[in-house]
A and B are shown apart, each in its own frame.
Chain A
């Protein structure tokens, strides 16, 4: 058995090697595929903060993923069409600058996670699962019924948003942009969980009554985790829209929430790199089994059942020492 830190270093190294090999062998498809894994991994890292470390089983993280995606697409759509985004009282133009879009995505996702968290964290257990699902589904149906931004058909942005001095259309450059954000999300999560606040969060997951009895406001502790979690997942949604140059209501659907949760569970709950491994495994299954059958999710279901019965620490738990916070 090896330590989690050692294993994580190897994963990061592998992430660097795959796209470089894709470049050497002129297979840009594999660079894009690895980029997709990283983006979905970021979404999982976001959920893992709430679910893995805080015990908040959110079945509505597609809401934040979708908000990130739509904010990015809407900003870009208005910039491309040279239309004002907002012209009531003050005039706000769209933008296709990533340096403007990212902070906006983080702010809006954080704001929505704050609002959703404020209401849903008053519940727990199955009620929390259902209320988060309900919020996400509300946004899903809202996006379907909003024809300005494509309604059911979604919204194409034609050109990937831009970053000064670099060509974001280059698959390898966009890969490194996503890798940068993955590293940032891991860094932020790692700092949070190793801080005094992180201790309070992980304690709340285990025994909330005891944490309250020592004077800690557990609601506030959970809300902060939920906001960070939503913001990180929102950022992933933004990158996902830029990767595909398209966003549709499917990113807000409960299937998306389920998939993000599967990444976390497959990789290993409360493991920093677990969601990335889970997302990679998911994509590998989709690419390999999906080539033989449309119903490849049947095998995914089987693997999930086996994992929950026999390997609850996820894929990372098979190789690493036991994580005491699992």
Chain B
């Protein structure tokens, strides 16, 4: 039995003569955190955008849970179980933290097109959202507008939005950027907990966090995967040291 939930094969994308992703092959197994590391501009975020469908790839295929999703739109991919955070926090600024989470719960609970039922009467949505806020330690900011949250709290809220979708895979794009030590610790513990629910493809520059979390690491440079392996294998890979870790550690 194939134990990969996500399989990406030969994925390439060029902007003019510039290849942002070049023949990428990467997979994500059940119960796994697969970290994707590499220098700025290596193509990590573009890869995420191709997986979620917001950037169309030139060639290649994406298989999610045995289903070819290559030709699906970004919304269809989100519906069938791809949930993401953005590199730059993207939330609904004039909604409270609680409202942001409720928004994320709507589609999964088939509530989006309830035109005339009062939102407040959906008690189950509110209790689910409150549980998620507790999980991401934002329950004390429940009624704060997202635009008024600190940067770190907005990062947490984004993870909360992803959690609310109860997806098949999580794609987290630098979720720990700008978090303080406590925030990073909280996030590490949370990711360890949720990876059994849905595996995580993680882009992160905080190497301590990556080494603490990742079951496997892939290194991407100039749009190409140059190495894939366990934490120890990547740490001892001289090529990876030369192109990325060398100036990080």
Binding site for B on A (CB under 8 A): 191-192, 194-200, 202-203, 206-207, 209-218, 220-221, 224, 324-325
* A197 CA to B116 CA, complexed, in Å: 8
A215: B residues at CB distance < 8 A:
75, 78-79, 107-108, 165
Which of A191, A198, A206, A214 meets B107, CB within 8 Å? A214
Taking a contact as CB atoms under 8 Å apart, the answer to whether A195 and B94 are in contact is no
Chain A nearest CB: distance from B45 CB in Å?
A: 14
Given contacts A200-B106, A203-B92, A207-B91, A213 and B115 within 8 Å (CB-CB): no
- Which one, B103, B164, B165, contacts A199 given CB within 8 A? B103
Q: A196-B122, A214-B165 are in contact. Are A325 and B78 (CB under 8 A)?
A: no
Give the residues from 64 to 112 in chain B that come closer than 8 angstroms, CB to CB, to chain A: 74-75, 78-79, 83-84, 86, 90-95, 99, 102-104, 106-108, 111-112
Closest residue of chain A to B122 (Cβ to Cβ) is A196
Pick the 7 closest A-B CB pairs, nearest first.
A215-B78, A215-B107, A215-B79, A196-B111, A214-B104, A203-B92, A210-B90
Minimal beta-carbon separation of A207 from chain B (angstroms): 5
Q: In the bound complex, how far is the Cα of B119 from the Cα of A199, in angstroms?
A: 8
Contact B112 A221 (CB under 8 A): yes
Query: Please, which residues of chain A bring their CB within 8 A of the CB of B94?
Result: 202, 206, 324-325
Judge whether B74 and A197 touch: CB under 8 Å.
no
Minimum CB distance partner of B89 in chain A? A210
A196–B118 alpha-carbon span in the complex (Å)? 7
Query: A residues within 8 A CB of B107?
Result: 214-216
A216 to B109, CA, bound (A): 11
* CA distance in complex: A214, B122 (Å): 19
Distance, CA A215 to CA B168, complexed state (A)? 13
The closest CB in chain A to the CB of B109 belongs to: A196
Asked if residues A197 and B114 are in contact (CB atoms below 8 Å), the reply is yes
Known A-B contacts A207-B90, A209-B54; the reply to A200 vs B119 at CB < 8 A is no
Asked if B145 CB lies within 8 Å of chain A CBs, one says yes
- Indicate if B161 sits at the interface (CB-CB under 8 A): yes
Determine the residue in chain A with the shortest Cβ distance to B79. A215
Q: A199-B99, A206-B92, A215-B165 are in contact. Are A192 and B74 (CB under 8 A)?
A: no
17 inter-chain pairs at a CB distance below 8 angstroms, sorted by A residue, are: A191-B116, A191-B118, A192-B115, A194-B118, A196-B114, A197-B114, A199-B103, A200-B103, A200-B112, A203-B103, A207-B91, A210-B91, A211-B103, A214-B83, A214-B103, A214-B107, A224-B113
Contact (A324, B92) CB under 8 Å given A214-B78, A216-B75: no
CB under 8 Å from chain A, chain B span 109-156: 111-120, 122, 125, 145
Query: What residues of chain B lie closer than 8 Å to A212, measured between beta carbons?
Result: 74-75, 78
> Which residues of the other chain, B, contact A218 by a CB distance below 8 angstroms?
75
Cα-based distance from A53 to B177 in the complex (angstroms): 33
In the complex with contacts A200-B103, A324-B94, A216-B118 CB distance below 8 A:
no
Q: Chain A residues near B115 (CB, 8 Å)? A: 191-192, 195, 197, 224
Asked if residues B92 and A210 are in contact (CB atoms below 8 Å), the reply is yes
A196 and B92: CB pair below 8 A?
Answer: no
* Contacting pair B118 A214 (CB below 8 A): no
List chain B residues, Cβ under 8 A from A210: 86, 90-92, 161
List 20 extra interface pairs beyond A213-B52, A214-B78, A216-B112, CB under 8 A: A191-B115, A191-B118, A192-B115, A194-B118, A194-B119, A195-B117, A196-B106, A196-B114, A197-B113, A198-B119, A200-B103, A200-B106, A203-B95, A206-B95, A207-B90, A207-B93, A210-B91, A211-B92, A215-B75, A216-B107
Q: Take A203-B92, A213-B74, A215-B78 as given contacts and tell me if A197 and B112 are in contact as well, using a CB distance cutoff of 8 Å.
A: yes
A193 to chain B, nearest CB (A): 10
Are A207 and B92 in contact, CB atoms less than 8 angstroms apart? yes
Cα A195 to Cα B161 with chains together (Å): 20
Which residue of chain B has its CB nearest to the CB of A196?
Answer: B111
Residue of B nearest to A198 (CB): B119
The answer to whether B102 touches A199, judged by C-beta atoms less than 8 angstroms apart, is yes
Complex Cα gap A220–B79 (Å): 15
Expressed in whole angstroms, the minimum distance between the Cβ of A85 and any Cβ of chain B is 32
The reply to whether A214 and B116 form a contact with Cβ atoms under 8 Å apart is no
Residue numbers in A under 8 Å from B161 (CB-CB): 210, 214
Q: Which residues of A contact B103 (CB under 8 A)?
A: 199-200, 203, 211, 214, 216
A96 vs B193: C-alpha distance in the bound complex, in angstroms?
Answer: 68
Residues of A within 8 A of B75 (CB): 212, 215-218
Bound-state CA distance A191–B116 (Å) is: 5
Residues of A within 8 A of B95 (CB): 199, 202-203, 206
